[in-house]
Structure 1
Amino acid sequence: MLRPYWRCYFPNTQAIIYVVDSSDTDRLVIAKDEFHAILEEEELKGAVVLIFANKQDLPGALDDAAVTEALELHKIKSRQWAIFKTSAIKGEGLFEGLDW
């Protein structure tokens, strides 16, 4: 498990890129909890947040609005954030997100 080592990368972080499997609806609650825990880290307070709602190519994948709701992004008031629908395997939405 890599999560305990994430803190090693927090100093001087200017942006967070969080990738969510939009087709794994069962794990979205875990993804939301992990995401909001990361946002509470003191060393990440100033970082902007880019969320990739990935695996849009799979049937049943939630769209960006549904992922926004599932991750409770509306609760993020103190920083810039954006969400982009992506398909890493097709290369869709990745550059749009990084350009943001």
Structure 2
Amino acid sequence: MGNHLTEMAPTAPFLPHFQALHVVVVGLDSAGKTSLLYRLKFKEFVQSVPTKGFNTEKIRVPLGGSRGITFQVWDVGGQEKLRPLWRSYTRRTDGLVFVVDATEAERLEEAKVELHRISRASDNQGAPVLVLANKQDLPGALSAAEVEKRLAVRELAAAMLAHVQGCSAVDGQGLQPGLERLYEMILKRKKAARGGKKRR
């Protein structure tokens, strides 16, 4: 899949390769958002404390060949009192990453409510969503398909591109394919927006 993306990118003048894509990582507290961010940044597992505000890092993701894409990633705290602030970070973002703890089946209903709320916010209409079903390295973790079903991902707004990917912040599995898919969805959305403007 990486090679396909590499061939696609240079012919996309609307997305210069030096431009960082703005991506916001949200999800309930203790889902592993910050650990995922630092796994991407440092290629190792970093034990983190609950995020009180936000963390931001520039992350370069290789896509097949030598070229890569740079994501400016904002990781926003998931405690209940911080969730109303999500919207100010996600406003006009290129893509949303929603992280869930796949071992906490009892919190998936709460996660579903928050996912649907943030993806329906007027500023986020149409922003592609990558749902990361984290902690796949732990016994009892629900599969990506089960998480997709419980979060009712297919019920998100019709114009929204979404993908659910199983992953682990501990060993990094699933992160590369997940981000490649997110990049693909962002490109698709930008292309569609450009086509829409031309027709007007």
Partner of 1:85: 166
2:178 maps to a residue whose letter is G
8 Å CA contact 1:14, 1:46 repeated in 2: no
CA distance, structure 1, for counterparts of residue 94 and residue 166 of structure 2 = 22
8 Å CA contact 1:22, 1:54 repeated in 2: yes
Instruction: Report whether the alignment pairs 1:37 with 2:142.
Output: no
2:100 maps to a residue whose letter is V
Instruction: Report whether the alignment pairs 1:94 with 2:172.
Output: no
Partner of 2:141: 61
The Cα shift of 1:53 comes to: 0.6
2:163 maps to a residue whose letter is A
Q: Which runs of 5+ in 2 are unaligned?
A: 1-80, 182-200
Q: Which runs of 5+ in 1 are unaligned?
A: none
The structure having more radius of gyration, on CA atoms, is 2
The Cα shift of 1:95 comes to: 1.1
Structure 1 segments (4+ residues) deviating >6 Å: none
The Cα shift of 1:14 comes to: 1.5
CA distance, structure 2, for counterparts of residue 11 and residue 65 of structure 1 = 28
Question: How many percent of aligned residue pairs carry the same amino acid?
Answer: 41
How far does the alpha carbon of each residue in 1:16-72 deviate from its partner, in whole angstroms, 9 at most, with x for none? 000010000110000001100111100000200101011011111100110011000
Instruction: Report whether the alignment pairs 1:18 with 2:115.
Output: no
The Cα shift of 1:9 comes to: 1.1
TM-score of the pair, normalised by structure 2:
0.48
8 Å CA contact 2:126, 2:161 repeated in 1: no
Partner of 2:69: none
Q: How many residues align?
A: 100
CA distance, structure 2, for counterparts of residue 82 and residue 4 of structure 1 = 24
TM-score of the pair, normalised by structure 1:
0.94
CA distance, structure 2, for counterparts of residue 3 and residue 33 of structure 1 = 12
8 Å CA contact 2:135, 2:141 repeated in 1: yes
